[in-house]
Amino acid sequence: MILLAALAGGLVAVGLVVLVAELTRRAPAPGTPPRPAMMRAGLTESGRRKILLGVVAGLAMLAVTRWPVAALAAGLGVVFVPSLTSTKAARQRTARLEGLEQWTRRVSDMLTASRGLEDALEVSARTAPAAIAPQVTALARRLSARVGTHEALRIFADEIDDPAGDRIVAALLIATSQRGGGVQGVLSTLAELLARDVAARREIEASRAEHRTTLRWIIAFIAGFTLFAIFNRSYSAPYGTLAGEVVLALVAILHAAGLAWLNKLGQIPAPGRFLDQPPARIDEPRPHPIRAGGLR
C-alpha cells in the first residue's frame, strides 16, 4: 500500500513538471511554421538507446531502493542529463552554417560564370560541403527529375531546417521569378553574413566552455550525493515513507529545474524559420522551367 501511494505521489510530481513546462513554454514567433522535418524523423537510434538505458536504470534503482520516485528520477536523468552537457547540437549547427556559407559562395560563382540557376544548383551537388551534401544532392536530383524549381527549393529549405537556409532559399526563389543578375550579389552578401555568424559562434562556444564545466561538476555532485544516499540506508530511510517520497519528488523537481535553467543560460537562442511548409509529397513530375542557358 505504501509503494502504491508513493508511486501515485511520483506520478503527481511528473504531472506537475509537465504542467509547469507547458505553462512556461514560449509560443513560436509569428509566422514561424512547425518543424515537420523533425516530426517526421521520429526517434533516432540514439534516442531509442537512451530510452532503453533509462528504463534499465529506473528498474535497477527501484530494485535497490524500493523508491518509485527515485526510480523515475533515475530513468529520466539517464535520458535527459547527457543532452545538458553535450555540445553536439551546437557543433552540428555551426558545421551546417559553415557548409551553407561555402555552398552559397560556389553557387554565386557559378551564376557569375553565366550558368543558369537550375544548372548551377545541380552542378553544385558535385562539390557540396559534407555537412549539407545529402540535402544538396537531393535538391539536384529533384531538379533533374523535372520537379518545379520553387517546390524543390522549398523542400530543400525544409530539409536544412534552419533560418539561414530559409534566407538563402528565399533569395533563390526570387531569382527564379525575376531571372536578373542581382542574385549573385545577394548570395555573396548572405555568404559574408554566414561567415561572420560562424566566427561569432565559435568564439561564443569557446567562452562558454567554463560554464559547461561548471554544469558537469554540479551534475557529478548530485550523482555522488545520490549514491551516498542509496548506500547509507540509515540516512536515507525516511525516503521510503509516503512523506519521504513526496519530499524526494520535490527535491528531484528542484534539481531538474535548476539544471534546466543552467543549461538554458549556456544556450544560443535560435530564431524561428519563416518559409512556409513545402508540399507533403511529390507524386508526379512537373514541367521544368526553361534553363537560362537554353534547352538541354
* Beta carbons of 99 and 131 less than 8 angstroms apart: yes
User: Among 99, 83, 62, which residue's Cα sits nearest to residue 215?
Assistant: 83
User: Rounded mean pLDDT of 199-207?
Assistant: 83
Distance CA 276, CA 17 (A): 33
Instruction: Band the pLDDT of 90: cuts 50, 70, 90.
Output: confident
**Mean pLDDT in residue range 11-39:** 45
The conformational region for residue 31 under phi > 0 = left, psi -120 to 50 = alpha, else beta, is: left
Q: Is 172 helix (H, G, I), strand (E, B) or coil?
A: helix
Q: How far is CA 131 from CA 69, 101, 128, 235, in A?
A: 42, 11, 8, 52
Q: How confident is the model at residue 132 (pLDDT cuts 50, 70, 90)?
A: very high
Query: What is the band of 103 on the pLDDT scale with cuts at 50, 70, 90?
Result: very high
Confidence of residue 30 (pLDDT cuts 50, 70, 90): very low
**d(Cα 111, Cα 247) in Å, to the nearest integer?**
66
- Residue 167 makes CB contacts below 8 A (sequence gap 6+) with 190
Cβ(278)–Cβ(151) below 8 Å: yes
State the Cα–Cα distance between residues 202 and 295, nearest whole angstrom: 44
Examine the pLDDT at 245 and tell me if it is beyond 70: yes
Cβ pair 9, 242 in contact under 8 A: yes
> Burial code of 209-241, b = ≥16 C-beta within 10 A, e = fewer?
eeebeebeeebeebeeebeebbeeeeebeebbe
Q: How far apart are CA 210 and CA 229, in angstroms?
A: 29
DSSP-derived secondary structure for 49-62: HHHHHHHHHHHHHH
Cell 535548476, located at residue:
258
Range ranked top by mean pLDDT from 21-30, 115-124, 132-141, 279-288: 132-141
- According to the model, what pLDDT value does residue 100 have? 93
pLDDT tens string 36-71: 443 444 567 777 888 898 899 889 888 888 889 989
In angstroms, the CA 170 to CA 165 distance is 8
The pLDDT tens digits for 248-271 are 899 999 988 988 888 887 776 767
Residue type, 241: T
What is the rounded CA–CA span in Å between residue 264 and residue 266? 5
Instruction: Give CA–CA dist 188/180, Å, rounded.
Output: 15
Average pLDDT, stretch 141-166? Answer: 90
The predicted pLDDT at position 155 comes to 92
* Spatial separation of the C-alpha atoms in residues 21 and 14, rounded to whole Å: 11
Tell me the backbone φ, ψ of residue 33, rounded to 5 degrees: -75, 165
Output the nine-digit C-alpha cell for 218.
Answer: 554540479
pLDDT for 147: 87
